[in-house]
Amino acid sequence: MTRPTVDVLSPLLTAPEVPAAAAHHLLAGLDLAPRTTVPAWITDPNLKADILAGFAEIPDDLRGAQ
């Protein structure tokens, strides 16, 4: 005996597209895109370069408003 196939659709699949300005930040938060900003409280140019290159990580709760 075979069961009937049931399609399950999520409302998230039909959600409107994410604006490009927000999409990059969302992807960077998931480490799927490079970070393009460094928090203003970091003043060491070498540390800024390391963060942008991906060698150093700043936790999201320390990044503050950008």
Q: Which amino acid does the sequence have at 29?
A: G
pLDDT at residue 45 in the model: 93
**Three-state secondary structure call for residue 48:** helix
pLDDT at residue 8 in the model: 67
pLDDT at residue 56 in the model: 84
pLDDT at residue 65 in the model: 61
The first and second tokens of residue 17, run together, are: 């597209």
The first and second tokens of residue 43, run together, are: 């003043």
The first and second tokens of residue 3, run together, are: 């069961």
Instruction: Read off the pLDDT of residues 12-66 as tens digits, 9 standing for 90 and up.
Output: 556 667 677 777 777 777 777 777 778 888 899 999 998 888 788 887 777 766 5
Q: Over 80: is that where the pLDDT of 4 sits?
A: no
If 0-12 CB within 10 Å is exposed, 13-18 middle and 19+ buried, where does residue 38 land? buried
Maximum Cα–Cα distance for the chain, whole Å? Answer: 69
